[in-house]
């Protein structure tokens, strides 16, 4: 089944709510933000907005392009520190969670000057095998 629309997961909603935002359930393609969603994203600091935009796009692309369909979290600093320069985020030691399992990931994301949309996104899933649960705490991953 093809996933056409982006549906925020409960954990993503909690993360945005912790930042003072509560995005409504999206009912349109992931590339477009409503006026309300745009206004809420603009309340974030530019770097936080850039990170959120990249995470949302990354989650959507991986879900559409791979066998991982239930991604609910991305962490850019799990195995090594990510880098942010101007409008580009680069993470070679990232991880994502799918169906309760974490997987290693690397990605590079560039955003528009307003930091509301991605200009480019490249990613590579480093290993098809989940990260062992006994490594989660060391890398600040959680169930």
Q: Where are the domains of the chain?
A: 10-139
User: Per residue in 1-26, pLDDT tens?
Assistant: 333 333 344 454 445 444 444 443 33
Max Cα-Cα span within the chain = 43
**Res 98: pLDDT:** 97
- Give the DSSP letter string of 76-101: TTSSS--EEETTEEEEEEEEEEETTE
Number of Cβ within a 10 Å radius of residue 97? 23
| Whether the predicted pLDDT of 142 surpasses 80 | yes
pTM over 0.85: no
Cβ neighbours around 73 below 10 Å, total: 17
- Cα dihedral value 21, 26, 28, 30, nearest 10: 60
For the stretch 98-108, pLDDT in tens is 999 999 999 99
Q: How far is CA 128 from the centre of its chain?
A: 18
* Per-residue model confidence (pLDDT) at position 32: 67
Decide if 74 contacts 81 (C-beta within 8 A). Answer: no
Predicted pLDDT of residue 1:
34
Q: Please say if the pLDDT value at position 37 is more than 50.
A: yes
What is the pLDDT averaged over residues 85-108?
A: 97
For residues 117 and 37, which has the higher predicted lDDT (pLDDT)? 117
């Amino acid at each position: 089944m093809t996933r056409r629309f982006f549906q925020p997961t409960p954990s993503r909603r909690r993360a945005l709510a912790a930042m003072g935002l509560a995005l409504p359930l999206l009912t349109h393609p992931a590339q477009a933000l409503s006026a309300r969603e745009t206004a809420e994203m603009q309340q974030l600091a530019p770097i936080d907005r850039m990170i959120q935009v990249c995470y949302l796009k990354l989650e959507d692309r991986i879900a559409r392009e791979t066998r991982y369909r239930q991604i609910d979290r991305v962490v850019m600093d799990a195995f090594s520190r990510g880098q942010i320069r101007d409008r580009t985020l680069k993470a070679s030691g990232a991880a994502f969670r799918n169906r309760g399992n974490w997987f290693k990931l690397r990605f590079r994301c560039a955003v528009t000057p307003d930091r509301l949309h991605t200009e480019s996104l490249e990613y590579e899933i480093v290993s098809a095998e989940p990260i062992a649960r006994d490594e989660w705490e060391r890398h600040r991953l959680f169930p």
